[in-house]
Amino acid sequence: MQEEMKMIYLAVPLVCLIPAIVAGLFGRKIGRIGAHTVTILGVGLAFFLSCYVYMDVMDGNTFNGTVYVWGISGGFPFEVGFLIDSLTASMMVIVTFVSWMVHIYTIGYMHDDPGYQRFFSYISLFTFSMLMLVMSNNFLQLFFGWEAVGLVSYLLIGFWYTRDTAIYANLKAFLVNRVGDFGFLIGIAAIYATFGSVDYSAVFASAPSLVDETIEIIPGTSWNMMTFICIMLFIGAMGKSAQVPLHVWLPDSMEGPTPISALIHAATMVTAGIFMVARTSPLFELSETALSVVLVIGALTAFFMALLGLVQNDIKRVVAYSTLSQLGYMTVALGASGYAVAIFHLGTHAFFKALLFLGAGSVIIAMHHEQDMRKMGGLRKLMPWTYATAVIGSLALAGIPPFAGFFSKDLIIESVHASTIPGSGFAYVAVLAGVAITAFYSFRLLFMTFHGKPRMDEHTLHHVKESPWVVVVPLVLLAIPSVLAGFMFMEPMAFSNYFEGVIYVSEEHDVLGAIGSIYEGKTGFSLVMAFMLHGMVALPFWLAVGGILLAWLFYIKKPELPGKVVDSVKPLYNVLVNKYGFDDFNQTVFANGTVKIGKFMSEYGDRRLIDGFFVNGTARVVEAFSRFLKPLQSGLVYQYAFAMILGLLGLMTWFLRVAQG
Amino acid sequence: MNHILNMQVATPEIFIFSMACLILMIDLYTHDRLPLLSYWLTQATLVAGIYLGLGGMGTEPVTTFNGMFIHDGMSVVVKLAIMLFTLIGLVYSRQYILDRGMYRGEYYVLVLIAVLGMMVMTSASHFLSLYLGLELLSLSLYTLVAINRDSDTAVEAAMKYFVLGAVASGMLLYGMSLMYGVTGSLDIKTISAAIQGMQSDDVMLMLGLIFIVVGLGFKLGVVPFHMWIPDIYQGAPTSVVLFIATAPKLAAFAMVIRLLVDGFQSIAVNWSDMLVILAVLSMALGNIVAIAQANFKRMLAYSAISHMGYFLLGIISANPNGYSASLFYMIIYAFTGLAAFGLILLMSRSGFEAENISDYRGLNREHPWYAFMIALVMFSMAGLPPTVGFYAKLSVIQALVDVNMISLAVIAVLLAVIGAFYYLRIVKTMYFDAPEAERTITTGLDARVLVSLNAVMLLAVMPWIGTIMDLCMSAIQSMG
């Protein structure tokens, strides 16, 4: 049985990898239909196998072991291994499901694109990478998946590689992720240095006994090793999960085709950081400092990125900023030690965010690739399916019961409220404010796009029609979990032993236990009802409703209001439009500064010193020697014999006179 | 086991000697009617010799002929390599020899006698048998260089080789006679026992050692006893150079082992110091002067000089590990040289010697496969991974590092970098320069296939590198 399950575990990533290779290398031979058939079948199979694995894990069968030893160097094994538990299984189901929906949707969205096969190859490869990341049982393979995901996202953001903006965006994503990865790699190295292993189980088992280890980075100051490791790992998470200040790549990455925005920049890749922190909870729990850092960074992201969502006019960018903000919520949950809630929100968010992105994509198709919301409006009647699913997505995002987002977001807010970690007070305010803003901008999007009078030109309006079924079906399939996932999984994920032995929370940080005690004795439906009723009378719900009403006032009732408000707070508005100046700062200081240093080094360090003096200089000296020595071979035999005699004399002199003293 | 007369262990030598005489006779009567008969007979002799040699694998060391002849693991491996490489070399050169009117029975008989000489050298455990083998080899080679007696350059080369060889033989003999004076014996084992405990302040011993090292230096062709190499390589017919550049190198290895290791291991400190000087000079001069050469064969001559320097590195480390690395280096070098000269022969045709580097311009456009083969050979010679040449250099340098001679190892690596230049220049010439003249390949299919196999093996044997190294190690360890 164990062996069979091992084969299934192995099959899940491979059925994604093999079609990716087939579609990538033989795309031209198998054609468009061939390419999408193999990849969709592969990922679909991966989804069903993941579900099977999930069921199996729910029956209590977990697995932790090596499947392949790639190499051993200096006694250090490089292994491919799987750790299959409730966390992994949940991630596998989420990843493969969203990816499968995106695959199907892509048939419609990329219909006319010349890079059709390449696209399918990339997204399958991406799914493979993400699966390797979540299924890993050691930090090294985690890093492999991490980098593979980064690579494929680079390829996908720059998918339309003839556009300058796309190239700029993918380079930016790649470079910013490098910063995070640098920290991550240091973190892994520190783990290896401290524990002598990169295996999760070995590291986590010995972590509590090494809690007092210290490290001297700057001589004379000693840092707690756990804090150091956790902060370094978290820097990695900040890059991948786009936390302030490494968030700058995510909005730009909307240059890629919409399906990958849904897949990579909403549902799966950016959640890698969240997943990683949850996975390493036994380490984070040992350092309150690190948790505090996580909490504050998350709160900053949640609040300030939400604000930026208010001023965007590009439909995809609004969704992108909402992603940033929601990732902030997940990070806040991690910081408050509510790892289970973070994963819960990760799951619900994956569904409704993919839904929103794909909905936005559906609108974009109908509008002939126009993405500016100011040129939309009134699409409600023309695209009923897209509209209905967008409403569900928006309600879920805004956190209105009984939609999925309500449960997970409310739990996060409650967790922060219950937390006593330094910074939790600030975080509580930030996430509360974020709720209202989120509700406002998500309904702003809904109202501007689907309600009011059509603002596009006659020609476009005339051609607007509901998208084909390959687009609509994934929307509907994603809408279902966006409604149901919340109350179906709240109790098992947050208030049961679902993550027992997987996620570790120390006694004093057990916020979920504290929340759970309010609902003591209630299970199943009554727990859900009690939670909803409690939520309805609490502040976050009314803030969300307030946000929605305000959006209605601004964009339906009195459309002239936004302009007036903007005029009255012009300086603030400009700050938001300029995204707090992060981009300008990075461009001026880091990008231009690096280019200047690089140019200097290239000219003086490389071209003059290394190339000019060392390399060519050496070559010239050698050549001169060569020319000097060549005539010694005169062709005259007595000179040759003389050379031999000289050699003999030389040896005799040296060894009989000089060496003898 | 010490037999007065044990013919059995010398079966391959006896067989080859008999066949050489037989072929000489047969050729006298059949040369006009069956011109290729002596070629096939020679090849058959070598095949049978290899078969007989294989029979001696894995047996205990045996001395025979009154202690003149030793049969041990090292001698078996080296002899097999000598016969195999000679056989392959003859396949490559058949067409060349035919085209240039050098096809006489003597050619093959001389080759067989040279092989016999090398085998005697390899198994020598006495100064006299060693010298006998050496002269048997040398005299055959002098004649082979001059086999094309109408060619001025060949005759000149043969003359030079002969004169310098005579000087070197004289020095070697003088060294041996001094050793006899010191120890009162010519038997290597007896000498080894007699000099135990002697120090470097014994002038006679040191003088004898220096003369012997000079004799060895000439045979190996290390600086400053290398002067004959470039002229012979350039002047002699390519087929003969192919022979000189491969099998005799292995015999020279055996000679080094017999004299320095079997004979003078107790004064290893002294000869090791001498070899350091010769090795550094060879690596430096060989690699640097090769850069200035326009003639491919001459360039390979300097390359050979530098390779002998690298080969000495393993000997210098003066332990079984190092000797085994040197044996490995020599086998790999000879095998690579076989492919190099084989390809030159392949490119040559009647009336055209492909011996200038400029003859290889743009070869890739007409004959991409052979250009690739030559590139492989060059990579292997330069020691680029993953070709076998890399492992050869790695093993000798590793041997140095193991005995903490780090600075010598660094010098060796730096000079290898300089050496890489001229090998890679050939590759550049073939791939990036414009072709000048039409080239047709007239060589037979057997040689083409074999030379391709030879070159591809430089890359393809990589998974079995460990096996070959183990073979060398066991050969050294089973020395009597």
- DSSP string across A579-616: GGGHHHHIIIIIIIHHHHHHHHIIIIIIIIIIIIIIII
Which phi and psi (to 5°) does residue A360 adopt? -60, -40
Q: Cβ of A635 under 8 Å from any chain B Cβ?
A: yes
Q: Which domain holds residue B121?
A: 2-477
- Exposure of B400 in the CB half-sphere (CA atoms within 13 A): 26
What are the angstrom distances between the C-alpha of A585 and each of A267, A570, A599? Answer: 29, 21, 20
Which 8-state DSSP code applies to residue B184? S
Q: Can you tell me the distance from the alpha carbon of A430 to that of A433, in angstroms, rounded to the nearest whole number?
A: 5
Tokens of B283: 């690596």
Interface residue of B145, B227, B264 to substitute, partner A, most A CBs within 10 Å: B227
pLDDT at A661 (0 to 100): 58
What is the nearest CA distance from B292 to chain A, expressed in angstroms?
A: 6
Contact B288 A625 (CB under 8 A): yes
Total-model pTM = 0.68
**Which residues in chain A are contacts of B224 at CB distance < 8 A?**
643-644, 646-647, 650
**Which residues in chain B are contacts of A639 at CB distance < 8 A?**
227
**Which residues in chain B are contacts of A627 at CB distance < 8 A?**
292
B62-96 per-position pLDDT tens digit: 888 888 999 998 999 999 999 999 999 999 998 88
Q: Cβ of B420 under 8 Å from any chain A Cβ?
A: no
Q: What is the mean pLDDT of chain A?
A: 89
Q: Which residue of A has its CA nearest to B418?
A: A622
Q: For chain A, what percentages of helix, strand and coil (3-state, to nearest 5) are there?
A: 75, 5, 20
What is the nearest CA distance from B289 to chain A, expressed in angstroms?
A: 5
**Which residues in chain A are contacts of B292 at CB distance < 8 A?**
623, 626-627, 629-630
What are the angstrom distances between the C-alpha of B425 and each of A221, B429, B432? Answer: 55, 6, 10
Amino acid at B276: V
Instruction: Annotate B312-337 with b (16+ C-beta within 10 A) or e (fewer).
Output: bbbbbbbbebbbbbbbbbbbbbbbbb
Per-residue pLDDT, averaged over A23-37, amounts to 89
Residue identified by tokens 């490119």 is B347
Note whether A245 and A582 are within 8 A (CB). Answer: yes
pLDDT at B1 (0 to 100): 47
To the nearest whole percent, how much of chain A has pLDDT over 70? 99
Note whether A391 and A285 are within 8 A (CB). Answer: no
Note whether B334 and B249 are within 8 A (CB). Answer: yes
Contact A626 B230 (CB under 8 A): no
Which 8-state DSSP code applies to residue B68? T
Q: How confident is the model at residue A636 (pLDDT cuts 50, 70, 90)?
A: confident
Per-residue pLDDT, averaged over A473-491, amounts to 89
Q: Can you tell me the distance from the alpha carbon of B158 to that of B228, in angstroms, rounded to the nearest whole number?
A: 10
Interface residue of A620, A636, A640, A645 to substitute, partner B, most B CBs within 10 Å: A640
- Exposure of B131 in the CB half-sphere (CA atoms within 13 A): 19
**Which residues in chain A are contacts of B283 at CB distance < 8 A?**
none
pLDDT at A1 (0 to 100): 64
Contact A654 B201 (CB under 8 A): no
Per-residue pLDDT, averaged over A541-550, amounts to 91
Q: Which residue of B has its CA nearest to A625?
A: B288
How many residue contacts between A and B have a Cβ separation below 8 Å? 83
What is the nearest CA distance from B290 to chain A, expressed in angstroms?
A: 8
Contact B214 A655 (CB under 8 A): no
A389, pLDDT greater than 90: yes
Pick from B142, B85, B146, B93: which is nearest to B337 by CA? B85
> Which residues pair with residue A66 across a beta bridge?
A81
Query: Is A515 or B17 the better-scoring residue by pLDDT?
Result: B17
Q: Cβ of B384 under 8 Å from any chain A Cβ?
A: no
Q: Cβ of B292 under 8 Å from any chain A Cβ?
A: yes
Q: Cβ of B163 under 8 Å from any chain A Cβ?
A: yes
> Which residues pair with residue A65 across a beta bridge?
A82
Residue of A640, A646, A656 lying closest to B206 (CB–CB): A656
CA dihedral B434, B436, B440, B445 (to 10 degrees): -40
Residue of B164, B207, B211 lying closest to A641 (CB–CB): B164
What is the nearest CA distance from B203 to chain A, expressed in angstroms?
A: 7
Q: For chain B, state the CA radius of gyration.
A: 21
Q: Which residue of A has its CA nearest to B221?
A: A644
Q: Can you tell me the distance from the alpha carbon of A610 to that of A602, in angstroms, rounded to the nearest whole number?
A: 10
**Which residues in chain A are contacts of B290 at CB distance < 8 A?**
626
Q: Cβ of B218 under 8 Å from any chain A Cβ?
A: yes
What is the nearest CA distance from B385 to chain A, expressed in angstroms?
A: 19
Amino acid at A363: V
Residue of B200, B214, B288 lying closest to A629 (CB–CB): B288
A584, pLDDT greater than 90: no
**Rounded to a whole number, what is the largest CA-CA distance in chain A?**
112
Tokens of A371: 């993405």
Contact A648 B164 (CB under 8 A): no
**Which residues in chain A are contacts of B213 at CB distance < 8 A?**
651
Residue of A635, A641, A651 lying closest to B163 (CB–CB): A641
Angle between helices A27-58 and A116-135 (to 10 degrees): 30
A422-432 per-position pLDDT tens digit: 889 999 999 99
What are the angstrom distances between the C-alpha of A275 and each of A63, A279, A340, B84, B249? Answer: 18, 6, 10, 63, 64
Q: Is the peptide bond before B224 cis (omega within 30 degrees of 0)?
A: yes
A660, pLDDT greater than 70: no
Q: Can you tell me the distance from the alpha carbon of B135 to that of B118, in angstroms, rounded to the nearest whole number?
A: 9
- Number of structural domains in chain B: 1
What is the nearest CA distance from A629 to chain B, expressed in angstroms?
A: 6
A604, pLDDT greater than 80: yes
Which residue numbers in chain B have pLDDT < 50? Answer: 1
Q: Which residue of A has its CA nearest to B162?
A: A637
Residue of B171, B214, B228 lying closest to A640 (CB–CB): B228
